[in-house]
Structure 1
Amino acid sequence: MRETGQFTFGATLDMETLAGIEGGTFQGTVTYRRGYDLGEKAGLGVLQQVQEVFGRGQTWRLTQFWYQQEFEGSGIDLKFGRLTMGEDFAAFSCEFMNLTFCGSQPGNIVGDYWFNWPVSQWAARLRVEAENDLYAQAGVFEVNPKNLENDFTIGHFKGATGVLLPLEVGWTPALGANRLPGTYKVGGWYNTADGDDVFLDVNREPQPVTGAPPLSRSGRYGGYVMVQQQVTGRAEEARTISGLTLFLNLTQADRKTSRIDNQVSAGLFYTGLLQARPEDVIGFAVGRTNVNARAERDFPGPRQQAEKPGAEYAAELYYGFHVAEWLILQPNVQYIVNPGGFDHNKDIVVFGLKANLVL
């Protein structure tokens, strides 16, 4: 048994009220992560963490420090400062405990340069809202490994290796007579920083055989598709009041430099299944995290006898009890097949309890 947690302290400032700047917003957030990793203690050997709130260092961080300016009547807004990638690009909720179903999916498979919450980066994002609930947005994010260090700082000004350039287009309709909200996204990214080839050495020979330094690739890239749609029940102002919501997330990274090259997950949320508890939410999801076969090819000698990793499969079911406006208790069970992508590893069952307090 292991527990871990996160404390978040934040403030949102309306700059029109404070300084007369119409459409301006400032956001500052500090996080503190603490606790212990069940995966390490129990030797689970999983590709995706079973405690989504653990990771990226048990330390204090400046997670958000940005200014956003909306230009009235134009549909354009600009955000800049210290941002996390998943705030705007491939954004997804984090209700589940298994990381397969939590947060911005690209960060789950190329987390060495796509940094999700609570790690922030110097960045800017431009978004344009069009008619018919369409939008497009693009960003520029610094790629700097120093951001992963466990020191509290407003931001590093040296050590960048390149820039990450995400692009996303989407549709956010309210469908049917009940105006049920949905989100449909297609996006991609390009990282200008070099990356090591997962198979070839500098002479374009199998690197695990030769032992020579890996071939350096210029740039890394990938893409994603995300769909979420409420299909039954009621909604108000794009917020689910009751009913069933379905989702599907798919991410593919380049196979030249990514050891984990794709992830897919699908699931549902159901709000108010029990009439006596209208605010409670049930969540269920299944997912697959794939190890790049190019990184695990057959090689001469004893390595041929070793099992090569393939894909890890995960499922999770939770029930969220809204005990009070400030407290949600969420027991859950996870089932993981082929931990680490290895067929010989025994399946894993994890029982968890997630508590969310908002003061």
Structure 2
Amino acid sequence: MPTLHGAPHLFGDWFGTRKWLNRRGLYLNVAVNEEYMGNVRGGRTRSDVLAGQVAAELDIDWQRLAGVSGLWTHLLVINGHGRNFGYNLGDSVTNPEQIYGGRGNVVAHLVAMYAEKTFLRKRIVVSAEDIPTGSFFAYDYVACSFMNVSVCSNFAPGKYVPGGRDWPSGNLGGVVRAFPAKKVYVMGGIFAVSPHAYNGGISGWALAQSGLGKVSSQVEVGWMPWFGKHALRGNYKIGAWYDNSRYPNLYADIHGNSFQLTGQPRRYEAGMSTAWFMFDQMLVRNGPGVAEGLLAVGGVGYSQGNVVAMRDHEWIGLVETGSPWHRREDQIGAMFQHMDMSRTVSRQQESSRALGLPYLANQWGPVWGVQRWENVYEAFYSTHVLRNSTTMQFDFQYLQHPGATTTFRDAAVMGIQFTANL
């Protein structure tokens, strides 16, 4: 799981409190994130939105605290505010923001609460309880340098369907990671699938929800090589998951015709599958840091199109640290994303249009036309200030076919993100 521990802090050592806690294996961290974003042209409406969150994390090393070797526990709670800019924009397929919605409009929304134990000299790691699946599977921290949330911290479509819901939704379950070689890992997990809109209820704390009888089984294999005399670090991963729940076909009734036209019951499909390949690879090293250089990042993701509105998603980008211009903590990056909607959901929307019916919302929210595909072009510059504990990121995105339709003009979006690790 990604952690705030070890990052520079705006208020330093908290007048000695942090050092006292750390000596006892208690790692408490608080971070603030604020984003302001607006479209300067295109989209459904001209709009700007401020959204943000406060995250509090407590990691406990039970070896230091109580002498229990190899045991850690993790707790992450957030509070958020703001509106979904994508709705104003007319784009529920990709959201230019990292921070929006999903926080439950409560004081404290539970993201993660789980224990982690190592075995066989850390060759096997077992994690269990309430875990966002994307903190382990299909996770890429380099892609999270970009503000567009479709690749942070893992990819759409997989993280927007019940079997693979990602941060800030936790899933009851467990993960086993094995390291058969120094640069190779194999990982498997089983998670309960919630039939509700919010895992754990609106606040995330209601772990014993009704209807948790179905499971999502996930697997991933990763390779982490270092190439050449400059130790060019890479991460390559391939994985898949299968959810054994039953889901309604997006178009067909029990006879294979449009359920909107015939009025017959919808066909239900047994199971849902998702797969991915992801990578990041350092191309040029600028300094000793693990990510200090020019990195390529990319991937492809797929979900079963007869029950998931987005069928596939491809992305490729470059991220460069600021070392060449003597700003080691700064970053600059550019990325291209392409998203295809499924033919099944397009047929449903064509049926709606022919019958004069409103378009039906899907996993990505409201629909404003027949959905085909969308492209996103993004560029950013991120600079560190105030003891390197605070980040200001300036972002530009161009959305071609917002919402994967031609209903609205292509949108140009500008944003700024402020992050402080307190």
TM-score surpassing 0.5?
yes
Partner of 1:104: 154
Residue number among 336, 353, 370 corresponding to 1:286 in the alignment: 336
Distance 1:297 1:157, change over 3 A: closer
Task: Sort the Cα spacing of 1:341 and 1:253 in 2 relative to 1 into closer, same or farther, 3 A.
Answer: same
Partner of 1:329: helix, strand, or coil?
Answer: strand
**CA 1:159–1:301 in structure 2 vs 1: closer, same or farther (change >3 Å)?**
closer
Distance apart, 1:36 and its partner CA = 1.9
| Alpha-carbon spacing, 1:46–1:337, altered in 2? closer, same or farther (3 Å) | farther
Bigger shift: residues 71-80 or 218-227: 71-80
Following TM superposition, by how much is the alpha carbon of 1:110 offset from its aligned partner in structure 2, in angstroms? Answer: 3.9
- Out of 316, 336, 358, the position equivalent to 2:378 is 316
- 2: CA distance between counterparts of 1:327 and 1:71? 37
Question: In structure 2, what is the equivalent of residue 91 of structure 1?
Answer: 139
Amino acid at match of 2:314: V
CA distance in 2, matches of 1:204, 1:274: 59
CA offsets, 1:157-204, max 9 Å, x none? 433151111100010112211212211000000001111111211222
1:327 pairs, out of 379, 382, 390, with 390
SS in structure 2 at match of 1:178: coil
User: Normalising by the residue count of structure 2, what TM-score does the alignment of the two structures yield?
Assistant: 0.79
Aligned counterparts of 1:89 and 1:235: Cα–Cα separation in 2: 29
2:236 is aligned with what amino acid?
A: Y
Count of residues in Structure 1 that have an aligned counterpart in Structure 2? 356
1:15 to 59, 62, 81: 62
Distance 2:401 2:230 in 1: 42
Equivalents in 2 of 1:161, 1:124: separation in Å?
A: 15
The answer on 1:179 being equivalent to 2:238 is no
Q: 1:158 to 1:248 in 2, by over 3 A?
A: same
CA contact (8 A) 2:277 2:300 kept: yes
Distance, in Å, in 1 between the alignment partners of 2:380 and 2:286 is 22
Q: What's the offset of the Cα at 1:209? A: 2.0
Q: In the alignment, which of 212, 216, 219 is matched to residue 264 of structure 2?
A: 212
1:74 Cα deviation after fit = 5.9
Q: Does the 8 Å CA contact 1:181/1:230 hold for their aligned counterparts? A: yes
Residue in structure 1 matching 2:251, options 171, 178, 199:
199
Taking the TM superposition and a 5 Å limit, the aligned residue runs for 1:1-359 are: 1-40=48-87, 42-56=88-102, 57-59=104-106, 60-73=108-121, 75-93=123-141, 94-106=144-156, 110-146=160-196, 147-148=198-199, 149-153=201-205, 155-234=207-286, 236=288, 239-240=290-291, 242-272=292-322, 274-297=324-347, 303=354, 308-324=370-386, 325-359=388-422
1:158–1:30: structure 2 CA closer, same or farther, 3 Å change rule?
Answer: same
Q: CA deviation digits over 1:29-79, x for unaligned, max 9?
A: 111121122223x34334111212102133331111111111143611100
3-state SS of 1:228 partner: strand
Q: Which amino acid in structure 2 is aligned with residue 333 of structure 1?
A: F
Q: What displacement does 1:264 show?
A: 1.0
- Contact 2:253–2:266 at 8 Å: present in 1 too? yes
Measure how far apart 1:254 and its partner are. Answer: 1.1
Question: How big is the shift at 1:260?
Answer: 1.0
Mapped to 2, the partners of 1:165 and 1:301 lie a distance apart of 35
Instruction: Please identify, of 249-258 and 133-142, the stretch whose mean Cα deviation from structure 2 is larger.
Output: 249-258
Task: For residue 65 of structure 2, give the secondary structure of its aligned residue in structure 1.
Answer: helix
- Retained in 2: the 8 A contact 1:337–1:348? yes
Any stretches of 5+ residues in structure 1 without a counterpart?
none
> In the TM superposition, what whole-angstrom CA distance separates every residue of 1:267-298 from its partner, at most 9, and x where no partner exists?
11100155232221012111012110122228
- Mapped contact 1:69–1:77 kept (Cα < 8 A): yes
Q: Contact (CA 8 Å) 2:313, 2:340: kept in 1 or not? A: yes
CA contact (8 A) 1:291 1:341 kept: yes
Q: In the alignment, is the contact (CA less than 8 A) between 1:11 and 1:28 conserved in 2?
A: yes
Return the alpha-carbon distance in structure 2 between the equivalents of residues 188 and 8 of structure 1: 29
Closer/same/farther in 2, CA of residues 74 and 150 from structure 1, 3 Å limit:
closer
Distance in 2, Cα, partners of 1:86 & 1:250: 15
Q: Is the 8 A contact 2:258 2:351 kept in 1?
A: no
Q: Matches of 2:413 and 2:155 in 1, distance apart?
A: 22
* SS of residue matched to 2:257: coil
**Alpha-carbon distance in 2 for matches of 1:269, 1:175:** 18
Q: Flag the 1:282–1:43 CA change in 2: closer, same or farther, 3 A.
A: closer
Aligned to 2:362: none
C-alpha contact 1:109 1:263 (8 A) present in aligned 2: no
User: What secondary structure, in the 3-state scheme, does the structure 2 residue paired with 1:49 have?
Assistant: coil
Q: Percent same amino acid at aligned positions?
A: 22
For residues 37 and 297 of structure 1, what CA distance do their matches in structure 2 show?
Answer: 27
CA 1:302–1:47: 2 relative to 1, 3 Å: closer
SS in 2 for 1:100: helix
Superposed CA RMSD in Å reads 2.2
Which 5+ residue runs of structure 2 have no aligned equivalent?
A: 1-47, 360-368
